[in-house]
Chain A
Amino acid sequence: GDSVTQMEGPVTLSEEAFLTINCTYTATGYPSLFWYVQYPGEGLQLLLKATKADDKGSNKGFEATYRKETTSFHLEKGSVQVSDSAVYFCALREGAAGNKLTFGGGTRVLVKP
């Protein structure tokens, strides 16, 4: 079945540092890929998405590129802020699986001033 694997946290960074969170996936078809973010005390929010190979999703300074050859969708931000402290979830949705949204385990990011 479909699965998503992302790097375990917590990831602790200083403000203005570069952030990368690795995400790889297993799917039988051609999924759409997502990054969701969960800020403290809040619900899950869509951060960005990509629906086909080589697409780049971007939002709030975050970027991720859909790499079919490496089955990856790594999240990056060039200069993090304290307000980026949150848990980040990589997810996929595949039509062949009834469009079920499958999540990775989440990566907690803590940005220190």
Chain B
Amino acid sequence: EAGVAQSPRYKIIEKRQSVAFWCNPISGHATLYWYQQILGQGPKLLIQFQNNGVVDDSQLPKDRFSAERLKGVDSTLKIQPAKLEDSAVYLCASSSDSNTEAFFGQGTRLTVV
């Protein structure tokens, strides 16, 4: 079974630029999560989707971050404009439903300079 796929693996951008991350969850998984992991800290949930609907986006900085999962499969997370403090690893995870184990991708490491 293929795991959660994320791209790109690494990205370096200048502040005020925009960036997008892509996630392809495990086939058939209805729940998809985006987490932000700042160096030395635990992952923090940004947004949780159930199929193509948003379950929780309470910690998503909506003035600059946006995410979509239009067909209930792939998802894209965008940052515009980026700030220095957005430097982190962005993790995507999926689960068959919100009660079962979440499987994580390898993440995208973003560096904002």
**Interface residues, chain A, CB within 8 Å of chain B?**
4, 36, 42-46, 49, 89, 91, 93, 95, 98-106
Task: Name B101's contact: one of A46, A89, A103 (CB within 8 Å).
Answer: A46
* Pairwise interchain contact A43-B105, C-beta atoms closer than 8 A: yes
B93 proximity list for chain A (CB < 8 A): 44, 101
Q: Are A105 and B42 in contact (CB under 8 A)?
A: yes
Chain A neighbourhood of B98, CB < 8 A: 98-99
CA distance A100 to B35 in the complex (A): 11
Mostly, the A contact residues are strand
Among A43, A45, A46, A95, max chain B CB count under 10 A is at: A43
Q: List 16 A-B contacts (CB under 8 A).
A: A36-B104, A43-B105, A46-B101, A46-B102, A46-B103, A49-B101, A89-B42, A98-B56, A99-B31, A101-B33, A101-B93, A103-B35, A103-B42, A104-B42, A105-B40, A105-B42
Q: Which residues of A contact B41 (CB under 8 A)?
A: 105-106
